[in-house]
Structure 1
Amino acid sequence: MNKNQTSKHHQLIIIGAGGAGLMAAVTARDLGIDAAIIEGNDRIGKKVLTTGNGRCNITNESTAMGTDEAVALSRKYHSNQTGFPLPVLQQFGVRQTIDLFSTLGLPLISLEDGRMYPMSLQAASVLDIFQLALEDRNVPVYFKNKVVDVIFSPNHPRFTIKCRTESEEQVVYTSEYLFLCTGGLTAPKTGTDGSGYVLAERLGHTLISPVPGIVQLKLDYPYLKELSGIKFEGLGHIIVRGEVIRSEYGEILFTDYGISGPPILQLSRKAAYHLGSGEAVTLSVDLMPGRTEEEVVEFLDMHWGIFGHRTVADSFIGILNKKLVPVLLKEAEIDQQPHLLCQDLSWKTKKKFYRILKHWEFKVTDTNSFTNAQTTAGGIDTVELKEGTLESKLVPGLYLAGEVMDVDGDCGGYNLQWAWSSGYVAAMSLAKHLSSV
């Protein structure tokens, strides 16, 4: 692979060797396009190595079971332009992803909740396969080139890409077509530092303010240290202006700063956007999601009736995590009565317990940072891109793929699926355009 830091011209330059850029490069070369990648790091796919806890959650097959696979898959994505992902996913979805990786020599296996990984369960395998694919196709990757500016001209060549190397050498590349595959703001140590937004804005595009997605929530609550480390199966609701705007079920984890766990990560996008708009956000947690409010009342009344001689604290043994109980007693304002018996509970106190168990509310103050986030919500406005091709409506020959645009997916392999899908579709769209001119 050519790593020489010299000025070059290619038909297509791809900025970024992440998931979207790698898929775009391999696909473009297979379609006969002279493609090359510019990458700021010293190797490809640095962020890919961090995904899936080091196993690389390539995709999720749970949406590939019915007749409307693309529609089901598209529901896992979020954008200010709701329907934008669907035409892309219709061209390249989960089944196509599985098949393509198979042709590259990387068989996938399905584990929990339909999440698919390389059979080796090593993220490094994904990059090794892409490295081989690039070498097989003679796709140059110009490493340690930080793009500092992109200039568009209606004349040949359309794009001038100015770079700076580690040794501060100024290098210029030119191309007729340009793919921005620079990622968002998550995992900045891997190179996804938001620089692609700057380049796109210089070319006339609009940025929808990015916020962390799939990330933990910070809470304003006085007893977080006491709750830290407690896990339980529960149902979380994000509430804004008195309305539940999203709910998720699963294992929830309290931390010393707030709350985490898969349901919270799924809820975080909604929380982040509303917090960013200056709105108050509340998290409501249901500790007994398997029972209705009426069933909780009936269950506890019967339980307390049978064991009226026990203390209230002891009455929760075997029902809730033991570490939760002292905090619940504080919430019910009976923590100063450690020997209070169930038979002596007032109706007012009982109602507090009923409410806490089904509607335990917390004030959400913030999310954790982009460093902790798994994806970026927001990005370049998709209204300025052509649906189904990902070409810019503003700059002829410019295409966007991956996290740089305002599309983000749920947790579970969906963001990498968007990288594969959008990278493939951008390359295919360019090939179709070239065949028609």
Structure 2
Amino acid sequence: MYENQTSMHHKLFIIGAGAAGLMAAVTASDMGIDTAILESNDRIGKKILMTGDGRCNITNESTVTDTDEAAALSRKYHSNQPEFPLAVVQQYGVGQTIDFFSFLGLPLTRLKGGLMYPMSLQAAAVLDIFQLALEDRNVPVYLKNKVVDVTASADHPRFTIKCLTETEEEVVYTSDYLLLSTGGNTGPNAGKEPPGYTLAERLGHTLIEPFPAIVQLKLQYPNMRALSSIKSQGQAHIIVKGKVIGSEQGELAFTDYGITGPPILQLSRKAAYHLARGEQVKLSVDLTPGRTEEELIDFLEKLWETFGHRTVADSLVGIFNKKLVTVLLKETGLDQQPQLLCQNLPPKTKENFYRLLKRWEFKVTDTNGFTNAQVTAGGIDTSELTRGTLESKLVPGLYLAGEVMDVDGDFGGYNLQWAWSSGYVAAMAIAKSIQ
């Protein structure tokens, strides 16, 4: 089933065996559609193995209990048409996804924050289950087939798909319906334009310039190496044109090039969006998010009053990461006076220290690129697709699913949920069209 084949016709060809393509294949087959998959790699679902730190964060159940689920979901997805993702995710949401994997024999477990994973906490289990599901349904998967061109006509078959095998042999496939689910510009495709973009453009569609999202940020700071490997609870703010456009709280992790951690990954899309437009982006870090500035001042004043006989460095033992204290002292110039006692701290130095702890600003110079990003923002313009079915308005019988279109979700399982939702919705729309 997974070998290269000679010229072949199927009612539906799915290009791309990622999460969306696999969901669509199982759904379409269950609806009685003669379905096959074309995949350029030597196995299905390679990118799934890299999700959720190898555990595969299948979805996120936290929005289910929101009093206004539609509003909660709409905040989790981004597109040039903000309302576009909601019309899909509401058709096939978290509950249906959990039931689907249970139906395939893969029970899920709920961890902190509503994050849903395979019970085994292994991403490989997701691929194994899909492979079994495809075998159960006799869905052909043509591996090592690189799609180089697609043409559409008004006659049947509508689509002619030209592929190159690993031996550079040209193979031609035909179908009446075509689903593009080739993913974005991250993972195995990092650094090169995914074929789905090219194929969709050749068929008349418009590409909204992609940029990396859910990715680490690069910072301009002279002592970046000194900060490397420091982790601290904090609140991060993205600032553009003097205005805070996003804030997240949690564990921050400094690196030799910049910063990462869940709050940064969540905010990275906003930073990348404005960086791509040539705008200056700043990151402000609050190292004491549990205290207001007044509470922080009161705390430190009492601390330094009580331990006025200690050096500043010694007074901060156990309050901040020891390596971080060294950097903070350097930033405020106190490293030049290592024996300065707390009782002798000048008022101006204290003010600088308070400001640093609450509003430590860095210039964001770049993201860490597509290679390290978890998702691609941008993609095929959703205004050229029919909302709620994902069919092309330009080419009858052509559908899109997953990351190839201009939809991306927040950190925490929302992008895989988009893959499951869009794959299912597209397959059901094709089934309805056939009927």
TM-score bin, normalised by smaller chain: over 0.9
Q: Mean alpha-carbon deviation: is it higher for 147-156 or for 20-29?
A: 147-156
Are the counterparts in 2 of residues 70 and 93 from structure 1 also a CA contact under 8 Å? no
Dislocated runs of 4+, deviation >4 Å: 189-193
Q: Mean alpha-carbon deviation: is it higher for 161-170 or for 123-132?
A: 123-132
* 1:404 aligned onto 2:435: no
Are the counterparts in 1 of residues 4 and 165 from structure 2 also a CA contact under 8 Å? no
1:375 is matched with which residue? 375
Counting only pairs closer than 5 Å after superposition, residues 10-409 of structure 1 correspond to structure 2 as: 10-66=10-66, 68-188=68-188, 194-409=194-409
Give the Cα–Cα distance (whole angstroms) in 1 for the partners of residues 289 and 329 of structure 2. 20
Deviation at 1:411, TM superposition (A): 1.3
- 1:320 is paired with a residue whose SS is coil
Give the Cα–Cα distance (whole angstroms) in 2 for the partners of residues 281 and 381 of structure 1. 26
Deviation at 1:322, TM superposition (A): 1.1
Deviation at 1:132, TM superposition (A): 1.2
Are the counterparts in 2 of residues 182 and 192 from structure 1 also a CA contact under 8 Å? no
Q: Mean alpha-carbon deviation: is it higher for 45-54 or for 178-187?
A: 45-54
- 2:372 is paired with a residue whose SS is coil
Are the counterparts in 2 of residues 41 and 191 from structure 1 also a CA contact under 8 Å? no
Give the Cα–Cα distance (whole angstroms) in 1 for the partners of residues 115 and 423 of structure 2. 20
Corresponding residue pairs, total: 435
Q: Mean alpha-carbon deviation: is it higher for 344-353 or for 400-409?
A: 344-353
For residues 254 and 190 of structure 1, do their structure 2 counterparts lie closer, same or farther at Cα, with a shift above 3 Å needed?
closer
Give the Cα–Cα distance (whole angstroms) in 2 for the partners of residues 278 and 322 of structure 1. 37
Give the Cα–Cα distance (whole angstroms) in 2 for the partners of residues 403 and 131 of structure 1. 21
Give the Cα–Cα distance (whole angstroms) in 1 for the partners of residues 401 and 291 of structure 2. 44
Are the counterparts in 1 of residues 184 and 376 from structure 2 also a CA contact under 8 Å? yes
Deviation at 1:208, TM superposition (A): 1.1
- TM-score by length of structure 1 reads 0.97
For residues 179 and 192 of structure 1, do their structure 2 counterparts lie closer, same or farther at Cα, with a shift above 3 Å needed?
farther
Are the counterparts in 1 of residues 78 and 408 from structure 2 also a CA contact under 8 Å? yes
Give the Cα–Cα distance (whole angstroms) in 1 for the partners of residues 371 and 272 of structure 2. 15
Q: Residue by residue, what CA displacement relative to the aligned partner does 1:277-316 show, whole Å, maximum 9, x if unpaired? A: 0000000000000011111112112222222221111121
**What amino acid maps onto 1:171 in structure 2?**
V
The percentage of counterpart residues that share the same residue type is 74
Q: Which runs of 5+ in 2 are unaligned?
A: none
Are the counterparts in 2 of residues 14 and 35 from structure 1 also a CA contact under 8 Å? yes
- 2:379 is paired with a residue whose SS is strand
1:8 is matched with which residue? 8
Q: Mean alpha-carbon deviation: is it higher for 342-351 or for 287-296?
A: 342-351
Give the Cα–Cα distance (whole angstroms) in 2 for the partners of residues 249 and 71 of structure 1. 21
Are the counterparts in 1 of residues 2 and 143 from structure 2 also a CA contact under 8 Å? no
Q: Mean alpha-carbon deviation: is it higher for 172-181 or for 150-159?
A: 150-159
Q: Which runs of 5+ in 1 are unaligned?
A: none
- 2:99 is paired with a residue whose SS is helix
Deviation at 1:404, TM superposition (A): 0.4
